[in-house]
Structure 1
Amino acid sequence: MAYDAEDTRRRIFAAASAEFADHGLAGARVDRIATAARANKQAIYLYFGCKERLFAAVLRAKLEELCGTVSIDPDAVAESVGRIFDWYQDHPELIRLLLWDSLEVCDDPDNERERRDAFRGNVRQLAGTDPAAPPDTGRVRAAQDLLFTLMGLIAWNFAVPRMCRMVLDEESEEAALARRRRTVIETARTLAAQHLHSGLTR
């Protein structure tokens, strides 16, 4: 059977996603990734260069997957937030990767620039502005604040699921998350009306 480089890459990527989510950057081991991927360590270094670059590639791909799957419709913010909530629930590794990134990864200007550009696109979409048009400062800034607030409103539920269960006094994390989903959607609806309207009047 011929060597399938793309399949090897996919296996390495899937194994690295699980390893980094469980152990972070410092605790992850390339030999465990290689074993889980049924690949050799040399292939990992060949395709990704080093463990740090592999972590950055995994996180970037997960964020791109989220943005490519669900986006925030400025005319239906609450419904979009519900779909993003569901995506996080189906992909618990993303929040863990983001937390490890905050705890362990030093500033990387090139990586930050790339992610900043992606978020600018999300903001423009939420603000309902043409990407080629001059920025409408009030509306864009309101959309920036709204986007970050919504991200926190969604992600915190998955960052501390046991605390969510205890604060809400529910018997299970599933029941707590179902209740939180309803609350997050309604809160998003209210915040969108307030933020985007205030942006138009600045």
Structure 2
Amino acid sequence: MAYDAEDTRRRIFDAAAAEFAEHGLAGARVDRIATAARANKQAIYLYYGNKEKLFAAVLRAKLEEVPVAISIDPDAVAESVGQIFDWYREHPELIRLLLWEALEAGDAPDEGEPKRRDAFREKAHQLVDGGVAHHVPEDVRVRAAQDLLFTVMGLIAWNFAVPRMCRLALDEETDQAALDRRRETVIEVARRLAAAQGASVTGSRSDTG
């Protein structure tokens, strides 16, 4: 059977994603990744360079999988939040990878940071173009939309970052029961935020009319 380079890369990527999500950058072991991927360590270094570059590649690819998952429809904020919540519930590895990045990667920007920053800028401008933050002066609308976007992301992500705390704080017997409850709460909070934005926009337009 001919050697399939792309299949090898995919197996390495999948094994690395699981290894990094479980152990972080410092705790991950290249030999475990190689064993899980049914590949040799030389292939990992050939395709990805070193462990740090492999971690960055995994995180970058995982983030690229979810452009829709962190988008908020300005006309349906609450519905968007529910969809985002469900996506993170089905893909908890991304939150774990982001937490490991925060703990271990340090403050130095990596090569993927400009692209990630641009993606968030685009989402903030989409919110502004959709009518979000029109009640504030034009020169700060984008900043207001950025704050709203990050606030909503935090409302969602914290539930998956600390599932045990979520379960204990809500006095639920299982993580699933706690997340079911939190989903409804997060959606309601998003709905109220959207309603407040709408009221501000309406009030602003009335004042100028």
TM-score past 0.5 threshold: yes
Q: Which one of the candidate residues 152, 160, 163 is aligned to 1:161? A: 163
Structure with bigger gyration radius: 2
User: TM-score, structure 1 length as denominator?
Assistant: 0.89
Q: Calculate the aligned-residue CA RMSD, in Å.
A: 1.9
Equivalent pairs counted in the alignment come to 195
Q: How does 1:64-103 map to 2 (within 5 A)?
A: 64-68=64-68, 71-103=71-103
Q: How does 1:1-202 map to 2 (within 5 A)?
A: 1-68=1-68, 71-106=71-106, 107-128=108-129, 136-195=138-197
Q: Verify the 8 A CA contact 1:24 1:97 in the aligned structure 2.
A: yes
Q: How far apart are the structure 2 equivalents of 1:14 and 1:137? A: 44
1:53 counterpart letter in structure 2:
K
Write out per-residue CA displacement over residues 21-56 of structure 1, whole angstroms, 9 at most, x where no aligned residue. Answer: 000000001111111011111111111111111111
Q: Verify the 8 A CA contact 1:142 1:199 in the aligned structure 2.
A: no
Q: Verify the 8 A CA contact 1:142 1:198 in the aligned structure 2.
A: no
Write out per-residue CA displacement over residues 133-185 of structure 1, whole angstroms, 9 at most, x where no aligned residue. Answer: xxx53321111001100111000000111111111111111011000000101
Q: Verify the 8 A CA contact 2:78 2:191 in the aligned structure 1.
A: yes
Q: How far apart are the structure 2 equivalents of 1:197 and 1:138? A: 18
Q: How far apart are the structure 1 equivalents of 2:178 and 2:14? A: 29
Q: How far apart are the structure 2 equivalents of 1:46 and 1:196? A: 53
- The verdict on how the C-alpha distance between 1:191 and 1:46 changes in structure 2, with shifts beyond 3 A counting, is same
Q: Which runs of 5+ in 1 are unaligned?
A: 130-135
Q: 1:132 — aligned with what?
A: none
Give, in angstroms, the shift of residue 7 of structure 1: 1.1
Give, in angstroms, the shift of residue 69 of structure 1: 5.2
The 3-state SS of whatever aligns with 1:66 is coil
- The verdict on how the C-alpha distance between 1:184 and 1:78 changes in structure 2, with shifts beyond 3 A counting, is same
Runs of 4+ in structure 1 deviating by more than 6 angstroms, as ranges, are none
Q: How far apart are the structure 1 equivalents of 2:143 and 2:193? A: 14
- The verdict on how the C-alpha distance between 1:109 and 1:36 changes in structure 2, with shifts beyond 3 A counting, is closer
The 3-state SS of whatever aligns with 1:67 is coil
Give, in angstroms, the shift of residue 16 of structure 1: 0.5
Q: Verify the 8 A CA contact 1:142 1:196 in the aligned structure 2.
A: no
Give, in angstroms, the shift of residue 74 of structure 1: 1.2
Percent of matched pairs sharing the same residue:
73
Give, in angstroms, the shift of residue 111 of structure 1: 2.6
